[in-house]
Structure 1
Amino acid sequence: MREIITKPFTGMEDEALICGRCGYCRSACPVYNVVGWESATPRGKIAKAKEIFSQGKQTELSAEFVQRMAQCTLCGACAQECSTGIDTRKMWLELRKRIAALGREPKAYKALRDNLQEKKNISNFSNDERLEWAQDLDDPAVLKPRAGAAVGYFVGCVSSFFPQAAQVPLAIAEIFSKAGVDFTSLGGEEWCCGFPLISTGFVDEARQFIRHNVDKIRQLGIHTLVASCPSCYSVWKEDSREALQGYDLEILHTTEYLVRLIKEGRLSLQEIPETVTYHDPCDLGRTSGIYDAPREIIRSIPGVRFVELPHHREQALCCGGGGTLQSVDAALAAKIARLRAGEIRSVGATVVVSACQQCEQMLTAAVREAKMPVRVLDVSQLVLEAMD
């Protein structure tokens, strides 16, 4: 592993000039590892961006370059390898923002934006149906928005509207109830966190969503917020700072909060005789720096034999589901997921655990396609199994 150089992002033009074209980023890029074209590499995209934007050639913005910018999971692996310390993830976000400002974004991005503005979520369902999944709880009313609760659970769009992912909030709600946590949600007043808009270049539109969610948290008097989606967590932690200014809000990912409950002795975990491995979500790991909490949870369960994947923590492979890649190139996203499935097979795990609903969906599809006898679970589901 190379020494990671960190420095502030100083703007696209300045950062593009820093690139030394060393090529260390190539082998780390999941898209390049599948596509194999230089134009898909981080250094290839930076070189083209420098030519277009630093030299004022925006009129020469080609459809191929727009496609290459969309063929990125925003995993941040290239930034880990950059010998000059370019924050490439911020670079890609800035480039997508400029492409959108020129009206050249992919049609899928525009459709996503329009749907979000209408529905306030990434699905085709009414936002009033955000708590439909809670009907499977013994007491669905526990999620009804309530002022003064100790914890506000931010569910996220994927968990709220996609049946497979709904198992995650169901597990979290059951765990919280069994642990005696005083919690609530925003219900139908929860809007998308805004990350799909940020990741596609519509930053100004995302601010509307961020302000709305912050206002609702303030109105309920919530001072601890727990998010199970790493992208939601990142938006609350980083992109919501301005909107939260002057308001005291502790922001935790569910893995951090579950570790707290375990250390406080509020969760009684029984033996699970399984060989478990863990997939680091890019937005939780490289973006937010949370690596230890999920592993602490897994290791706290009696009977579990924990094994690491060949690439883990900072060097973890992407699942293929990040950066809104599926909306523009679902086949490429699936091919990236297959690479990770191969690593899962190599360690002989019976269960692969992650802490991101999108990762879990991608890995489930890849594992099924490969006909592997492996269960894919969220860390919260594993904890609930150990409690039952």
Structure 2
Amino acid sequence: MVEFDYTEIVHRCFRCGYCKYPSDYSRINCPSYAKYKFESYFSGGRMWLIRAFLNEEISWSGHLGEIMYSCSTCRNCVENCVFKFSDQLVDVFIHARADMVENGLVPSKVADFFSNIAKFGNPWGEKKSKRLEWAEGKYYDKNEYLLYAGCVASYDSRAKKALKALKELMEMAEVDFGVMRDETCEGNEVRIMGEFGLFAEIARNNLQKFESEGVRKIITPDPHAFNAFRNYYPEFGAEFNVLHHTQLLYSLLRSKKLNLGKVNAKATYHDPCFLGRWNGLYEEPRKILKEIPGLIFVEMPRNRKNAFCCGGGSGNFYTDYLGGKDSPAKIRIKEAAETANLLVTSCPICLMMLEDAAKSENIDIEVKDIAEILLEVIKT
């Protein structure tokens, strides 16, 4: 694991507040600050709390732990901090959490998250046998691509529908792929939440499986898994290529392997943080939507690097520190409904969070994964 001394950085922040906003400073863009509206819940506040804890000016408390884990690591602060250490902001929070983990100072919800993944290979403690029910026996056998579903798409009923749509599209286009028989968590949230030891174990075990099966190319609909495979697994010797499903689907459209019918819809797109700000993939989803005949595509005011987070990242889809009234997902779904009648995303966590918010707020808007939209258009 790469060494990182965050204690040399925390004292440099003097809490100017630029990191709370998008690039045009139009409205609050930090999801945890948007919900709680206290200074301790934005990046500058967390930097000061970390410094105070290191200087023994404050003591550990469960509330401090919740503040640290309410950060969804969306990287809005990285985009908008005006200082030279901006690229390291999220790393500060991740490594501060790692010290919390090492010293046994994590909230019970976080401890349960780690425990479930260590024991069952998923955050909810679900049976491993349920993970591949969607795959219908399409197992990897020296195929060109391994389709890696991830935890949320495998277990959440709503996200699973989108996963099945992707599988059907790949079969239509005659993509040579299979699913690992014993797929387990890739560990992105485990690392982001600071359990470096467990993440290393997960990564090494997965790499051993991939190497023994001869995996060279991976496709995943999960930006969080995409991030782990692309940015963290190389530390452990990974040499495979990884594609997000929007990259594959756009390639299939360009090569005429998927033929689109016409649709009548006004759609907008929600950028997943781990696809956009973490990995710079903004254009493929938009290019796909603009290829669909009859679809009117309209951007939300906050888009691309200024997109507002759904609040599910960094394990918050499980811990729910950003849930309830004024949740980021509820704020975002209202913004989407003011823009279009169809909200498209390309992340199982975002899909789950945003559809739940639409139902909770009784907002009349469809929320779909981009694979579902393509499949519907092809079938019309």
Q: TM-score range by the shorter chain?
A: over 0.9
Alignment of 1:148-227 (within 5 A): 148-187=142-181, 189-227=182-220
Name the CA distance, whole Å, in 1 between partners of 2:58 and 2:111.
20
Alignment of 1:122-141 (within 5 A): 122-134=123-135, 140-141=136-137
Question: Please, what is the CA RMSD of the aligned residues?
Answer: 1.9
Amino acid at match of 2:157: P
- Alpha carbons of 1:22 and 1:59: their partners in 2 closer, same or farther (altered >3 Å)? closer
- Alpha carbons of 1:16 and 1:9: their partners in 2 closer, same or farther (altered >3 Å)? farther
- In structure 1, the residue matched to 2:72 is 73
- Alpha carbons of 1:11 and 1:28: their partners in 2 closer, same or farther (altered >3 Å)? farther
**Identity across the alignment (%):** 27
Compute the displacement of 1:84 (Å).
Answer: 0.5
Contact 1:334 1:366 in 2 (8 A): no
- Alpha carbons of 1:333 and 1:171: their partners in 2 closer, same or farther (altered >3 Å)? farther
Alignment of 1:16-95 (within 5 A): 16-26=10-20, 27-53=28-54, 55=55, 57=56, 60-85=59-84, 86=86, 87-95=88-96
Name the CA distance, whole Å, in 2 between partners of 1:295 and 1:318.
18
Query: TM-score of the superposition, structure 1-length normalised?
Result: 0.90
- In structure 2, the residue matched to 1:259 is 250
Contact 1:334 1:362 in 2 (8 A): no
- In structure 2, the residue matched to 1:145 is 140
Name the CA distance, whole Å, in 1 between partners of 2:217 and 2:373.
24
Note if 1:354 corresponds to 2:345. yes
Per-residue CA distance 1:292-314 (angstroms, 9 max, x = gap): 01101111111110000110000
Task: Identify the range of structure 1 (255-264 vs 124-133) with the bigger mean alpha-carbon deviation.
Answer: 124-133
- Alpha carbons of 1:10 and 1:130: their partners in 2 closer, same or farther (altered >3 Å)? closer
Per-residue CA distance 1:216-272 (angstroms, 9 max, x = gap): 222221211111111000000011002234x3x111100011111111111111111
Per-residue CA distance 1:151-184 (angstroms, 9 max, x = gap): 1100101111121111122011100110010101
Compute the displacement of 1:73 (Å).
Answer: 1.1
- Alpha carbons of 1:346 and 1:190: their partners in 2 closer, same or farther (altered >3 Å)? same
How many residue pairs match? The answer is 368
Instruction: In structure 1, list runs of 5 or more residues that go unmatched.
Output: 1-7, 135-139
Note if 1:239 corresponds to 2:232. yes
Per-residue CA distance 1:104-147 (angstroms, 9 max, x = gap): 1010111111111111122332213221123xxxxx23x2231x
Name the CA distance, whole Å, in 1 between partners of 2:3 and 2:377.
43
Amino acid at match of 1:331: G
Note if 1:342 corresponds to 2:334. yes
Compute the displacement of 1:199 (Å).
Answer: 2.6
Query: TM-score of the superposition, structure 2-length normalised?
Result: 0.92
Amino acid at match of 1:113: F
Instruction: In structure 2, list runs of 5 or more residues that go unmatched.
Output: 21-27
- Alpha carbons of 1:120 and 1:369: their partners in 2 closer, same or farther (altered >3 Å)? closer
Secondary structure class of the residue paired with 1:331: coil
Compute the displacement of 1:368 (Å).
Answer: 1.9
